[in-house]
Amino acid sequence: MRAALRSPTRLLVLYDSECALCRRCRAWLEHEPAYVEVAFLAADAPEARASLGPVRPWLGAELVVVSERGEVWLGPGAFLMCLWATRQYREWSYRLSGPALAPVAEKFFHMVSSRRATIGRLLADDCADGRCKHRR
C-alpha cells in the first residue's frame, strides 16, 4: 500500500535580498492570499547558511523553496511552488508544470533569472508595502 501524498502546509522562500527584482517578488507574494503559510528568509542570512546545508551552493544564485518536511525546489520548480501556494495562481502552477507548458515556463524563468539584475534596475523599488505601482 502506498502512503498518501500530503501537500506542504508551510513553505520557506529563500531569496536574494540584494536583488531589487527578488525583493519586489517577495513583496508581491507576501500580500497574495495563500492556501499555505509562506515565510521568507534572505539567502545570505546566517540562519539560512547554518540550517540549510544541502542547498547552500544555490543560496542567492537560485530561488529556493523548502517545505516544512524538508522538500526542496530550485529555480523553475521553486517558482511554480510559489505560484502553487497562492489562491489566485495555483491553477496556473498546474498548467505551467504540465507537459505542454513546462519547457516554456522553465525557459521563461531562466531568462528572467539570468537578467534579474538588469530587470531590477529597470523597476523602481516601489513595492515595499505590497502595493506595487503596476497594480494600480
- CA angle in degrees (0–180, nearest 5) for 88-91-93: 100
Q: Which three cell numbers stand for residue 44?
A: 545570505
pTM of the model: 0.80
Contact call for residues 13 and 36 (beta carbons, < 8 A): no
- The per-residue pLDDT for range 106-125, each reduced to its tens digit, is 999 889 888 887 887 787 55
Can you tell me the distance from the alpha carbon of 119 to that of 136, in angstroms, rounded to the nearest whole number?
20
Q: What's residue 40's pLDDT?
A: 94
Q: Which amino acid is at 48?
A: A
Q: Phi and psi dihedrals of 29, rounded to 5?
A: -65, -35
Can you tell me the distance from the alpha carbon of 116 to that of 102, in angstroms, rounded to the nearest whole number?
21
Question: What is the average per-residue pLDDT within 57-69?
Answer: 75
Q: Which residue is associated with the grid cell 507576501? A: 30
Question: What is the average per-residue pLDDT within 28-42?
Answer: 95
CATH number of 10-125: 3.40.30
Band of residue 35 on the pLDDT scale cut at 50, 70, 90: very high
Q: Which residue is associated with the grid cell 539584475? A: 117
How far from each other are the two terminal CA atoms of the chain, in whole angstroms? 51
Strand partners for 67: 11
Can you tell me the distance from the alpha carbon of 96 to that of 104, in angstroms, rounded to the nearest whole number?
8
Question: What is the average per-residue pLDDT within 5-33?
Answer: 89
Percent share of the chain, pLDDT over 90: 39
Band of residue 16 on the pLDDT scale cut at 50, 70, 90: confident
* Domain range annotation of the chain: 10-125
Q: Which three cell numbers stand for residue 88?
A: 489566485
Q: Is the dihedral of CA 25, 50, 59, 46 positive or negative?
A: positive
